[in-house]
Amino acid sequence: MPIDEKPSRNEDEYFLKHDAELLRQQRARRDTERSASARASHYMKCPKCGSDLTERERHDVKVDVCTDCGGMWLDAGELDLLRQADRGVFGRFFGSSSEHRSR
């Protein structure tokens, strides 16, 4: 094809679709990177003060403890595991508070 000839309509459509697909892939990649970055900035951070959390084992259950404020944070199901692990102090405390709620 000589240089001064205009490309066919099919070529224009092909390159438009190709460029649109490349843009879509770049946006998806950036969205994934932003999401991962946001998640990493919040991972193992105290919900109260924002400091780092460390994992500690209490009664064979791993709990997250804040290095600054001392707050203890439990993942889903960990409270039930603590209740089962120690019917002593935790069991009496949580058991008595739930009995008062049901009355």
pLDDT in tens, 38-89: 766 667 788 888 888 888 887 778 888 888 888 888 888 888 887 777 665 5
Question: In this predicted structure, what is the pLDDT of residue 26?
Answer: 94
CA atoms within 13 A on the CB side of 26: 6
Domain extent for 90: 53-102
pTM above 0.75, yes or no: no
Q: Are residues 61 and 89 in the same domain?
A: yes
- Beta carbons of 69 and 46 less than 8 angstroms apart: yes
Q: Are residues 71 and 97 in the same domain?
A: yes
- Beta carbons of 80 and 63 less than 8 angstroms apart: no
Distance in angstroms (rounded) separating the CA atoms of residues 50 and 99: 34
- Beta carbons of 12 and 31 less than 8 angstroms apart: no
Distance in angstroms (rounded) separating the CA atoms of residues 42 and 56: 19
Number of domains in the chain: 2
